[in-house]
């Protein structure tokens, strides 16, 4: 297989894997171009979610606003934040400084 086709296949598989994950797995969400990618993921309890800022110059954060939590610290380019979700539920979140740009995401934890 040609290198570019192999890379494309790996990238496609990575996106599919990131959309749904099982217990003791890890899901990566990238922050780029004022979006969380993927914007919504469904995972099983015990799954670790890792957000990575892929912007060149912009900072972001993760804020579980509806849960009443304090806004997270700013993540500058290539910095990351991790969280393990143990309980089933719906966990919407926003980027506090870019909420007005529609930078939102959702973690759905299902048995």
Give pLDDT tens digits along the chain (111 positions).
Answer: 444 343 333 333 344 344 455 446 899 999 999 999 999 999 999 999 999 999 999 999 999 999 999 999 999 999 999 999 999 999 999 999 999 999 999 999 998
pLDDT at 24: 60
Q: Buried b / exposed e across 8-43, counting CB within 10 Å, b at 16+?
A: eeeeeeeeeebebbeeeeebbbbbeeebbebeebeb
The CATH class of the 3-109 domain is mainly beta
Helix or strand or coil: residue 31? Answer: strand
Which residues does residue 94 pair with via DSSP β-bridges, in sequence order?
A: 63, 104
**pTM of the complete model:** 0.78
Q: Taking the CB of residue 49, how many other CB atoms lie within 10 A of it?
A: 24
């Amino acid at each position: 297989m040609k290198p570019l086709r192999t890379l494309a296949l790996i990238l496609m598989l990575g996106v599919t894997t990131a959309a749904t994950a099982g217990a003791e797995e890890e899901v990566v969400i990238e922050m780029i171009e004022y979006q969380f990618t993927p914007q919504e993921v469904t995972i099983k309890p015990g799954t670790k979610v890792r957000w990575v800022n892929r912007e060149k110059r912009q900072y972001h954060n993760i804020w579980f606003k509806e849960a009443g939590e304090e806004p997270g610290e700013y993540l500058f380019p290539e910095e990351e934040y991790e969280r393990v979700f143990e309980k089933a539920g719906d966990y919407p979140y926003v980027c506090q400084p870019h909420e007005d740009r529609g930078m939102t995401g959702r973690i759905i934890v299902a048995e």
